[in-house]
Chain A
Amino acid sequence: MRYEAVIGLETHVELATNSKIFCSCGGHSTKGEPNTRVCPACAGMPGMLPVTNRRVVELAMRAGILLHCDISRYTTFDKKSYYYPDLPCAYQITQWFHPVCRNGSVEVTTKDGTRTIGIKQIHMEEDAGKLVHDDWTETTLVDFNRTSVPLIEIVSKPDFRTADEVMAYLEKLKTMFRFANISECEEGAMRCDVNISIRPEGTEELGVRTEIKNMSSLSSIRRAIQYETARHLDAVERGTETLVQETRRWDDVKGRTFSMRNKETAADYRYFPDPNLMPILIGEDWIRRVRDTMPASIEEKTAEYQSKGLSEKEIASLTSERALCDLFDAVTAAGRDPKEAASWILTECGGILRKHGQVMGELRVAPEKLSRIMEKVSGNEINRAAGRKVLEAVLYEDADPDAYCKAHNLSAQGDADAVRQVVLKVLDATPNAVKDYLGGKKKAFQALFGGCMKELKGNGDPQVIRTLLEEELSKRS
């Protein structure tokens, strides 16, 4: 008999807001010394009251729009009670009764084709703190920096059949959310709970379901799904064990899942509406405003860049990061040629970053500076190689392009007369190479060219040098 896996996902995504969900502490929990990003409110001191961060609601709506959800007109916050040392109030504020978005879908593409995954709901909630275990002293410390950092939880329908589909889905959410400035989706900012059961292919009834909690790396998620599916298969086919509905934990080192709690010991979260947070009414106007102010989607950007004549490869590279698109848009808006702009960002900036062991995602450059460099090159003020040099200084020394050129005497190198003087000097200094070249050894040209370039400290325009060299050599033949 052939079996299929039935997999559902609960994905927690940390939102890219400036402040936490119910207080004015800064977001970005993962940064900062332990317990430095806390106030009485997010530390759960009595007497504080939560006040909803409007931006959180808007980012959740944005996610809902991207995932084709219905946006709720009436949405509430509820309290979920459980005891854990990283939860200062012993309750988490989440959405249980009226989540902000429902009934969405997203298409995922794997090597086996494209399938539609249903989205049951998206809800907003606050994150908990973090426990840090010190095995050496056998102590556990609590860091509350992350408490009340805003999250959205995207609950999928049990529509996945393979780990590949899950991977494709998570990659897609990541790209989408980064691109729409919903989340920076950094390491640890996206965490998953995975529900798995298996059933004979072609049947409808669901098997015994287990849930694997709180995984943040894609490779762990893939391995956990593969392990858990195999465990279910063994249990069903070979009777290795009796499956029970339970919550399990993935151990990345041991490469297997462990039981955490089963149905009998399952927590009762005693949900109830939080009386301190009034229900939020979402009107058509607000939805429209959120939709209208949403950054262009990858699809829209792709179409726009196609119309500007960029290649598929260039488009794919630019749209891999919202920041690259923003840079490209700023540079072209300043009047630079789109093809050139793409080339400068992807080839030149990319090359320099690689040389310094960095990746495209780490590119930070003021669009005005890049635009100024391009302007100098296209106006023949400096050649491309010099431009590259200026760019590197801009990227790593925060140089000003004009000041840098002036300081390094880079402006005159496009001047043919100056270059001709250098060419003549090189030809006079290396008579043997000249002789070889004129004797038919074409390779000698490279040596002469290199000599000129060296004289020009690498700032010469290759085209100009080549032309002048050929001109002067022909005079000596």
Chain B
Amino acid sequence: MGQFVTEINANGVIAVDDTIQVKGYETRAGSRILEGFKPLFSAETVERLEGAGYAVAGKSAVGEFGLDLLGEFAHGGPCLDASGALRGAAAELVAAGQVRGALNVDLNGAPRRAAALSGVDFLKPTYGTVSRYGVIPCACSGEQVGVTAKTAGAVRELLRVIAGHDPKDGTSLPAETYDYGNGKDVPGMRVGLVRELTDAASDDMKARVTAYAERMRGLGVTVEEVSLPLAEAARTAWNLLLCAETCNNVSRYDGVKFGYRSPDYRNIDELYVNSRTEGLNFLTKAVILYGSDALSKGRYVTCYDKALRVRRLVWEQVKGLFKDFDALLCPACSRTEYRPYAIADAFKTVFEESLFTAIPNLTGVPAMASGGVQCFADTLRESSLLNLAEAMEGSGAK
């Protein structure tokens, strides 16, 4: 038996975010509404990792449906470091060396933020390169499974296992493998430092990004300031789409077939209303209300449809920059530390912080948090991100 366990663990153990299903493991997506829910199947990414000899160590905590900053409003409570600062659970597990890596869903930047704060790497791959089959769905048009690990090399290793066509996901791209780089070819690369996003960050975060850019230059990378005027519009558009799609996706939780059911009801309407009232937190309810409004009659054209049009414009603007640059550098969040705060402020706080993370979710381009900052690259150019991060890690960035 011991021999057997050693064998499956040959490649190490992996943490899987609670928004990603593992067959038979309770999967709650950080919410009370999914209490007791044991999925009938594992996510494709989990299947692939297990098939390649990795073992699931357990589920890492996330905020309800992954909607908050770092998991601070998870039903099970927040993850705090020794000083009482907010941290992401999976990123902390990776930083502490308890797992080789983690699978996370990047819905509104949470795992990128978490990695930047814990000093580990997280890569959100290009939309469609990694299967979303088995992800508790929120905003299907932009959420993506990515990998947290200690080094760019470890991210690459895990990404190679999980990426590739999955016929069970209708948005899965046809390729079986992708280029994840070789850790070389960094000298001569061109990186754009996004002015709007750097300017919006706190002074210590600004200093961190500037220092990172300086070290990049030391590796022979050209770093130039660039402008992304649609950054704010991208944030609004992504949050609008996210609310609308999430509202639609979470409406299936009704306390009837699985998950939490309020003990207090006299008829079917009360069963629905009370189960949802007690099962969902304030942030999710805010998302549902905004989303429902954006899709309602008369608002569709001025809200949802407009957001889709903004998505196209942002994509064009970003694509334009990638004609001249291999990657765009910016903060992953506004500050270097976050403290617990009241849930009444959650929607506003997440909205504000998503300024730094929304563009890759909105446009599908890859993004990577590394060295406490983040970079975006063009569609399917994860190789640029991984090469840069690997070179920077080698240069003593950590």
Contacts and interface: CB of A to CB of B under 8 A. Distances in A.
Interface in B273-305: 292, 295-297, 300, 304
Contact of A270 (B136, B168, B249, B295): B295
Contacts of A275: 139-141, 171, 245
B100 interface: no
A44 B252 contact: yes
Contact of B133 (A48, A79, A268): A48
B40 A40 contact: yes
Contacts of B140: 49, 275-276
Contacts of A91: 248, 251
A450 interface: no
Given A40-B41, A45-B39, A90-B254, 7 more contacts: A43-B257, A46-B29, A47-B133, A49-B133, A51-B168, A91-B248, A275-B139
Contact of B136 (A43, A46, A81): A46
Contacts of A257: none
A227 interface: no
20 contacts: A40-B40, A40-B41, A45-B258, A46-B21, A46-B34, A47-B21, A47-B135, A47-B136, A83-B254, A88-B257, A90-B252, A91-B248, A270-B292, A270-B296, A270-B300, A272-B245, A275-B139, A275-B140, A277-B170, A278-B171
B252 A51 contact: no
Contact of B40 (A45, A271, A273): A45
A458 interface: no
A85 interface: yes
B282 to A, nearest CB: 21
B186 to A, nearest CB: 35
B134 interface: yes
Contacts of B249: 46
A49 B292 CA distance: 22
Contact of B39 (A44, A47, A81, A272): A47
A472 B183 CA distance: 108
A50 interface: yes
A52 interface: yes
A276 B170 contact: yes
Contacts of A52: 170
Given A40-B41, A278-B170, A85 B136 contact: no
Interface string A40-79: 1001111111111000000000000000000000000001
Contacts of B252: 44, 46, 88-90
Interface in A239-283: 268, 270-273, 275-278
A40 B43 CA distance: 12
**Which of B141, B248, B256, B292: most chain A Cβ within 10 A?**
B248
B214 interface: no
B167 A47 contact: no
Contacts of B125: none
Contact of B244 (A43, A51, A90, A272): A272
B134 A50 contact: no
The 6 closest A-B pairs by CB, nearest first: A275-B141, A270-B295, A90-B251, A47-B134, A275-B140, A51-B170
A272 B272 contact: no
Interface of A: 40, 43-52, 79, 81, 83, 85, 88-91, 268, 270-273, 275-278
A57 B281 CA distance: 40
Secondary structure class of chain B's binding surface, majority of residues: loop
A81 B248 contact: yes
A83 B249 CA distance: 12
B204 interface: no
A92 to B, nearest CB: 11
Contacts of A270: 248, 292, 295-297, 300
B169 interface: yes
A89 B140 CA distance: 14
Nearest to A46: B136
B156 interface: no
Contacts of B257: 43-44, 88
Nearest to A87: B252
A228 B251 CA distance: 36
A47 B295 contact: no
Contact of B41 (A47, A85, A89, A276): A47
Nearest to A45: B40
B137 interface: yes
A81 B250 CA distance: 11
B297 A47 contact: no
Contacts of A49: 132-133, 140, 168-171
B268 interface: yes
Contacts of A81: 248, 251, 295
Interface in B200-247: 244-245
B40 A85 contact: no
Contacts of B34: 46
Nearest to A50: B170
Nearest to B136: A46
A222 B348 CA distance: 56
Contacts of A43: 257
A458 to B, nearest CB: 61
B256 A272 contact: no
B244 A85 contact: no
A111 to B, nearest CB: 43
Nearest to B305: A272
Contacts of A88: 252, 257
Interface string B122-164: 0000000000111111011100000000000000000000000
Given A47-B135, A49-B133, A270-B248, A85 B268 contact: yes
A98 B244 CA distance: 20
